Structure 1
Amino acid sequence: MVERRGWGLVFTHLALIAGLAVVCFPIWVAFVASTVTQPEIVRPPLPLIPGDRFIENYTAALFQGVSTPVWRMLMNSMVMALGITIGKIAISIISAYAIVYFRFPFRMVFFWLIFLTLMLPVEVRIVPTYEVVAGFGMLNSYSGLILPLIASATATFLFRQLFLTIPDELAEAARIDGAGPVRFFIDMVLPMSRTNIAALFVILFIYGWNQYLWPLLITTKPEMNTIVMGLKQIIPSSDDVANWPVIMATAMLAMLPPVLVVIFMQNLFVKGLVESEK
Structure 2
Amino acid sequence: MNKQILITILALSAGMWACKTKPQDDFEKFDADTEWELALVDPCTDDWRTHWFLDGEIATVENSDSGMDFSAGPINRNDAHHAVLWTKQSFEGDVKIEYDFTRTDEQVVNVNILFIQATGTGEGQFSKDITEWNDYRKVPTMSKYWLNMNTIHISYAAFPMVNEDPTNDYIRVRKYPAQSKETFGETEVPPSFDKTELFLPGITYHMTWVKTDGKLFLKVEGDEKEKLYQWDLTGFEPVVEGRIGLRHMFTRSGRYKDFKVYTK
TM-score range, shorter chain: under 0.3
TM-score using structure 2 length: 0.25
TM-score using structure 1 length: 0.24
Larger strand fraction of residues: 2
Larger helix fraction of residues: 1
- Structure with greater Cα Rg: 1
